[in-house]
Structure 1
């Protein structure tokens, strides 16, 4: 996206991205939202004995949520100085703002956690990730890349070593549901689940925010940066997945893990392609050699981070194309992407209304997904054209401004 002159920057065109906002980043958020909706509403496995993966599972499982998390890091970088990190009092204020925004997200997540719904809700983990990333907000791109690389390598090993110890007590330090307000009464169990034993373990998932923070510290308006993200991300993603597949299928990894599971007929091959969450990854170091979605291994974190980088690069390039042809090609995605917290919350609430209930007469799973996706796109477009913030985005933005400058910042 090319830089604009000060005169252009001060003028706001209805439907165009807000001044200083990168439409390609919002579009990537919209893509992540639609991908997560797909994994919530559409089957990721065929209903057969072999659990044959569907194209939804092969395409979106693990990648959509990772893109969502990487973009959180990108957004934090953009709001804290872009390629020139804030310092001193400004950085302290930004950290307070991020912390208050995280509390808003956590409150929404804990409330949604009280719903009966077959969705692994990410918001509480997302909020904790915001708090964990605070010490890194003042770092430049080189130091962030070093931290991200180290975290991707070390955090899975730490989790592998600690998980058996956390799951050994009776009851184990693991929640059987999404975190909710009642879980605050058992803080040790809640923290263990959020950081290590849950669906989105924060210890490993901090890798995504570090990667996103590093991406956001690049000069994203330079012409070459989106190309490097797209090409480099694609190459790394393919290499990581290829290495993980070879480890499992050619070097004996899957055979070793099948012996550890000791469950004849279990379709481990299919699970390794779609979703390893729920399997006790213990008893063999081979678990750390896979690139399976939601395994939290180094290769999984590397692959999904690289896919996220490539997706961000592609969306930024589409944003450049849209400016070149003077046509807002990204409006359907960036409108939804600018209000993901609101749309995600409404989506989960609506899905909970159908929990353990048959779909309405004439509805199919495909139809339900397209209804959710179309509603998100239309609502997002309306809000974008009108220049409105989403309701929950407004609350989060207000909390952030209070943290940065006190109550006078809202006046």
Structure 2
């Protein structure tokens, strides 16, 4: 790996990839007892959040790191990011046509790249204020807007993964991408902004790495504690049980695993939960905190030995390709009449991801989809396909 590359960032991205793969492969609940599974308790909501936070870090590093705009005009950088987003969106639309139950993140991921463009030249203090405000206010706005969308946009979401045909229903598509889908861009912008704040720090500095680890742990634990206090001691959970969703769903167990698909309306107490994929301030703080802690831990572990986590960092350097192949493989397995053992499926795919990543590192190359995205970015940014690879 390049000596100038922070392999810890790639390793964190590799952790996110494997975490997302595990939630796609293993059941989230024990089929016998109905209890939340270990994979769900550890990775549900956190792996995808880590993926988004690391994306924000990457955008910050692409646009100058601690010195935004250094060495390249802001307009050129934005053109490059926009072109990269278009490629990712096209890949997401192609994958969306596969018959799979996995909620594919790529199209929403690309939209987030476009939405974050106005922030790419911001310096750290101003960017931190925007990130904090977004974490606090976007869930409130979503809570206010979602009921109106559900009542007035038919259907209010696409009901699955986004494909080309959904562009024929622009109101539904916009509602899904911004508010009602699995990855609502309004709240998920928080992850990219937090990631950009992290990327504006001197990430090679030991004090920054240690501070980031402590801050991430504090945010993650603090968000869970405050949510628990509001729901249990202050009586919020009892109020949620009186709502329509509280009477329909096993909310107690779902709060531990995933609130995707649950109508969070009828009580302001929904904003006090910290469940994965609830999109509340406490959820955003907890998952962003765990993401920051993982990034810091990976940076600390690779500080003196950049290749210590090489299997993870090699896979993390080509997540676009590996994630896409994973989705394709899972679609093939879903078509089989007999489901294979999830343990074998996960570990074979994890080993394949590490080996393929190592092979491309050995060849001095990047993944094929990364090459396409990077080439499009350089062409839009610099007007040529050759140049520094970032």
Cα offset, 1:167, TM superposition: 0.9
SS of corresponding position for 1:46: coil
Cα distance between partner residues in 2 of 1:65 and 1:116: 21
Check 1:250–1:47 CA distance in 2 against 1; reply closer, same or farther (3 A cut). Answer: farther
Please tell me whether the aligned partners of residues 245 and 262 of structure 2 are also in contact (alpha carbons under 8 angstroms).
no
Cα offset, 1:18, TM superposition: 2.4
Cα distance between partner residues in 2 of 1:101 and 1:264: 44
Please tell me whether the aligned partners of residues 156 and 297 of structure 1 are also in contact (alpha carbons under 8 angstroms).
yes
Q: Which residue does 2:121 correspond to in 1?
A: 138
Q: Which residue does 1:12 correspond to in 2?
A: none
Cα offset, 1:339, TM superposition: 0.2
Cα distance between partner residues in 2 of 1:93 and 1:236: 35
Cα distance between partner residues in 2 of 1:244 and 1:115: 38
Check 1:84–1:265 CA distance in 2 against 1; reply closer, same or farther (3 A cut). Answer: closer
Q: Which residue does 1:22 correspond to in 2?
A: 6
Check 1:262–1:338 CA distance in 2 against 1; reply closer, same or farther (3 A cut). Answer: closer
Q: Which residue does 1:384 correspond to in 2?
A: 361
Q: Which residue does 1:345 correspond to in 2?
A: 324
Check 1:396–1:87 CA distance in 2 against 1; reply closer, same or farther (3 A cut). Answer: same
Q: Which residue does 1:334 correspond to in 2?
A: 313
| Deviation sequence 1:165-200 (CA, Å, 0-9, x none) | 111136222111100111112122111101100000
Cα distance between partner residues in 2 of 1:337 and 1:209: 17
Q: Report 1:224-263 matches (<5 A).
A: 224-261=207-244
SS of corresponding position for 1:121: coil
Q: Which residue does 2:101 correspond to in 1?
A: 118
Cα distance between partner residues in 1 of 2:338 and 2:52: 31
Please tell me whether the aligned partners of residues 347 and 372 of structure 1 are also in contact (alpha carbons under 8 angstroms).
yes
Q: Report 1:42-121 matches (<5 A).
A: 42-48=26-32, 51-86=34-69, 90-121=73-104
Cα offset, 1:143, TM superposition: 1.1
Structure 1 portions without partners, runs of 5+: 1-16
Cα distance between partner residues in 1 of 2:268 and 2:276: 17
Cα distance between partner residues in 2 of 1:364 and 1:249: 38
Larger mean Cα displacement after TM superposition, 223-232 or 55-64:
223-232
Cα offset, 1:48, TM superposition: 4.1
Cα offset, 1:313, TM superposition: 0.3
Cα offset, 1:358, TM superposition: 3.6
TM-score (norm 2): 0.96
SS of corresponding position for 1:322: coil
Q: Which residue does 1:7 correspond to in 2?
A: none
Please tell me whether the aligned partners of residues 343 and 376 of structure 1 are also in contact (alpha carbons under 8 angstroms).
yes
Check 1:57–1:94 CA distance in 2 against 1; reply closer, same or farther (3 A cut). Answer: same
| Deviation sequence 1:67-106 (CA, Å, 0-9, x none) | 0000000001111101000069611100000000000000
Cα offset, 1:245, TM superposition: 1.9
Q: Which residue does 1:13 correspond to in 2?
A: none
Cα distance between partner residues in 1 of 2:205 and 2:246: 53
Q: Report 1:152-171 matches (<5 A).
A: 152-169=135-152, 171=154
Q: Report 1:212-291 matches (<5 A).
A: 212-261=195-244, 264=247, 266-291=249-274
| Deviation sequence 1:366-390 (CA, Å, 0-9, x none) | 1111111111111111111221110
Cα offset, 1:334, TM superposition: 0.3
Please tell me whether the aligned partners of residues 32 and 68 of structure 1 are also in contact (alpha carbons under 8 angstroms).
yes
Cα offset, 1:410, TM superposition: 6.4
Cα distance between partner residues in 2 of 1:223 and 1:170: 50
Q: Which residue does 1:33 correspond to in 2?
A: 17
Cα offset, 1:409, TM superposition: 4.5
TM-score (norm 1): 0.91
| Deviation sequence 1:11-69 (CA, Å, 0-9, x none) | xxxxxx225321000000000000000000001111246x3111111100000000000
Cα distance between partner residues in 1 of 2:212 and 2:41: 22
Cα distance between partner residues in 2 of 1:233 and 1:262: 32
Structure 2 portions without partners, runs of 5+: none
Cα offset, 1:263, TM superposition: 5.9
